C-alpha cells in the first residue's frame, strides 16, 4: 500500500483544540499538508487555525461534536469541498472521569463510551467512503496503552479503549480482505503531558495525572505522522507503554499486582480538586487550548522505543543484535 507524502495530503484531525490533536495539526501543517481541524471548542480551533496560518500553513476549522454523526460527516464533507479530497483521518477526541467503578454514574459511563468508542467509529464511517474515492489513504485512531492494559479509576475509559482495539482490528481485516487501499493504525500512547488531566472530571479529591513516566505530546505526533506515510497496524507512543504491554503479554497476573500496588497513588497529584470544578465530559471548557499540560518539568521529550518503531531498519538492527547476543549466551552456557 502506497500512501502519499505528507506535503501532498489533505488531513482531518478530530479532537484538535488541545493536546495531542493540536500538536499533530501543527506538525502536519508545518510539513505542508492541508489541514482540517475539528473539536467542540470553537475558541480552541480558531486559535489553532490562526497559529497555523501565521506560519504560512493551510488550515480550516469545523466545530463538531463527535457523538453527532451528522456533524462528523460535515467535517469530512468540508475537507473534500474545500480541498478536493481526503487522504488521512486522525481521530484523537476523548474524555475521562477519574473515579472508581462504583463512583461512576451510568450517565458518565455511557458518555465516555459514546465519545471514545462510538465517536471513533463515526469517524471511520464517514472517512472511509472519501478515502476510497480518493484512491486510498490512512485511518489513524488514537487509543491508549489502556487499549490492552487497564488502570484503576478508568473502568469506562479502559472499556472504551479496549473496544477501540477490537473495532480497529476487525476493520483492518475487512479492508485487507476486500483489497481496499486504506491503512488502519491504532496509536497507543503512554501517559502524555497534555491538558487532558485538567479537563477530566475527578472524584479522587485531587487533580489527576498520568502514571509516570510522562512523555511530551510531540512523541505521539511523530508517531501519527509516521503512520500517515507508512501503513502500520499499531504504534506504542512512549517506551514505558511498550514495557507495560510486554509485561501484560508475558506475566499478566504479575502486572495486575504491580499496577494495583502503584497506580492508585501514581495517578494522584497533591493539588486539591473538587468533582464539581469545570470538566469537559459533556461540554467543552476553554482555557486549556494549548498543546502541553502541567507536567512539563517531568515529561520526557524523546522515547527510544517509539523512535525504533518508526525507524524499521534501526529496529531490525537492534533486534538482530539482541538475538545474536542471546544465541551467544546460550552457546556459552552450553559449553560451560
As a 3-state breakdown, the chain gives helix, strand, coil percent values, each rounded to 5, of: 50, 15, 30
The phi-psi region of residue 156 (left if phi > 0; otherwise alpha if psi is between -120 and 50; otherwise beta) is alpha
Task: Give me the pLDDT at residue 220, please.
Answer: 98
Task: Give me the pLDDT at residue 332, please.
Answer: 61
Task: Give me the pLDDT at residue 306, please.
Answer: 86
Task: Give me the pLDDT at residue 323, please.
Answer: 52
**Using the 8-state DSSP alphabet, how is residue 8 labeled?**
G
The pairing of strands 137-142 and 182-189 is: parallel
Question: Which residue shows C-alpha cell 512523555?
Answer: 215
Q: Which domains are seen in the chain, by residue range?
A: 6-302 (3.40.50.720)
Query: H-helix or E-strand containing 73?
Result: helix 69-83
Whether 157 is catalytic is yes
- pTM value is 0.92
Q: What's the rounded Cα separation, in Å, for the pair 263 and 286?
A: 29
The phi-psi region of residue 173 (left if phi > 0; otherwise alpha if psi is between -120 and 50; otherwise beta) is alpha
CA angle 104, 107, 112 (to 5 degrees): 75
Task: Give me the pLDDT at residue 318, please.
Answer: 61
Q: What's the rounded Cα separation, in Å, for the pair 17 and 199?
A: 12
Choice among 98, 153, 157, 226 that is catalytic: 157
Q: Which of 281, 259, 186, 221 is nearest to 28 (CA)?
A: 221
Q: What's the rounded Cα separation, in Å, for the pair 90 and 6?
A: 13
Task: Give me the pLDDT at residue 230, please.
Answer: 97
Along the 336 residues of the chain, how does pLDDT read in single tens digits? 899 999 999 999 999 999 999 999 999 999 999 999 999 999 999 999 999 999 999 999 999 999 999 999 999 999 999 999 999 999 999 999 999 999 999 999 999 999 999 999 999 999 999 999 999 999 999 999 999 999 999 999 999 999 999 999 999 999 999 999 999 999 999 999 999 999 999 999 999 999 999 999 999 999 999 999 999 999 999 999 999 999 999 999 999 999 999 999 999 999 999 999 999 999 999 899 999 999 999 999 988 888 888 877 766 666 565 555 555 555 565 565
Q: What's the rounded Cα separation, in Å, for the pair 43 and 98?
A: 26
3-state secondary structure of 157: helix
Amino acid at each position: 500500500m502506497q500512501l502519499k507524502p505528507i506535503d501532498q495530503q489533505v488531513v482531518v484531525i478530530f479532537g484538535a483544540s488541545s493536546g495531542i490533536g493540536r500538536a499533530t495539526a501543527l506538525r502536519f501543517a508545518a510539513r505542508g499538508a492541508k489541514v482540517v481541524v475539528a473539536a467542540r471548542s470553537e475558541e480552541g480551533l480558531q486559535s489553532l487555525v490562526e497559529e497555523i496560518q501565521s506560519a504560512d500553513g493551510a488550515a480550516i476549522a469545523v466545530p463538531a461534536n463527535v457523538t453527532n454523526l451528522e456533524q462528523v460527516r460535515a467535517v469530512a464533507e468540508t475537507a473534500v469541498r474545500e480541498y478536493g479530497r481526503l487522504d488521512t483521518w486522525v481521530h484523537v477526541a476523548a474524555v475521562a472521569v477519574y473515579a472508581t467503578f462504583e463512583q461512576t454514574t451510568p450517565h458518565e459511563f455511557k458518555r465516555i463510551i459514546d465519545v471514545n468508542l462510538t465517536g471513533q467509529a463515526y469517524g471511520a464511517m464517514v472517512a472511509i467512503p472519501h478515502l476510497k474515492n480518493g484512491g486510498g489513504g490512512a485511518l489513524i485512531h488514537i487509543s491508549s496503552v489502556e487499549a490492552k492494559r487497564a488502570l484503576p479509576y478508568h473502568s469506562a475509559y479502559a472499556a472504551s479503549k479496549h473496544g477501540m482495539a477490537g473495532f480497529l482490528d476487525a476493520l483492518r481485516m475487512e479492508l485487507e480482505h476486500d483489497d481496499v487501499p486504506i491503512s488502519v493504525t491504532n496509536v497507543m500512547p503512554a501517559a502524555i503531558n497534555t491538558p487532558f488531566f485538567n479537563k477530566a472530571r475527578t472524584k479522587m479529591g485531587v487533580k489527576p495525572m498520568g502514571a509516570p513516566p510522562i512523555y511530551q505530546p510531540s512523541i505521539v505526533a511523530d508517531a501519527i505522522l509516521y503512520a500517515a506515510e507508512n501503513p502500520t497496524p499499531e504504534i506504542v507512543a512512549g517506551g514505558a507503554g511498550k514495557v507495560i504491554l510486554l509485561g501484560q503479554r508475558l506475566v499478566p497476573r504479575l502486572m495486575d499486582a504491580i499496577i494495583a500496588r502503584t497506580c492508585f497513588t501514581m495517578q494522584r497529584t497533591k493539588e486539591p480538586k473538587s468533582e464539581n470544578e469545570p470538566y469537559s465530559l459533556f461540554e467543552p471548557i476553554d482555557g486549556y487550548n494549548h498543546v502541553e499540560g502541567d507536567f512539563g518539568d517531568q515529561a520526557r521529550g524523546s522515547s527510544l522505543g517509539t523512535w525504533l518503531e518508526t525507524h524499521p531498519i534501526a529496529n531490525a538492527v537492534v533486534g538482530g543484535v539482541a538475538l545474536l547476543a542471546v544465541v551467544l549466551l546460550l552457546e556459552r552456557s552450553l559449553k560451560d
